[in-house]
Amino acid sequence: MTQIDSMRFRIAKADHEKALRVFTKILDYQRSHPELYHYSRSRSYFMDAEDNPDQEIWMFIDEYDDREAYWDSLQKAMRDDPSSAENNRTWMELIVPGTAPKGHEVWTEMEDLRVEFDH
């Protein structure tokens, strides 16, 4: 069974460049500390918020081989690693007030519907 975690959140369009810098810093930190984070791949996306021209919706997708190990690693990093806790605080400051993310969404792949091309 293949699963992913994703989360969507809103930032002000005016903060786009600042958010890129913050997320680059966060992901660089995570890359340099694989002992803290149990995931194999993370991808990030954004789009204009259709209901508010001043906002963007950002989303990340984390891929892993073990959901429990992934989730435990995130919780432990937030609890035990001051840099991870600070990164989270800095990220939360970018969130548009009143639009706090609901949390991670866990998606399970329907592998029978997978299409892959070898190009």
Q: What is the pLDDT of residue 94?
A: 96
Q: What is the pLDDT of residue 4?
A: 95
The token pair at 63 is 């891929």
Spell out the domains of the chain, with CATH numbers in brackets: 3-109 (3.30.70.100)
Are 42 and 60 contacting, i.e. CB atoms less than 8 angstroms apart?
A: yes
Q: What is the pLDDT of residue 80?
A: 97
Report, as ranges of residue numbers, the positions in the chain whose pLDDT lies below 70: none
CA 17, CA 78: separation in Å to the nearest integer?
Answer: 25
Packing angle, helices 67-80 and 82-94, rounded to 10: 100
Q: What is the pLDDT of residue 1?
A: 75
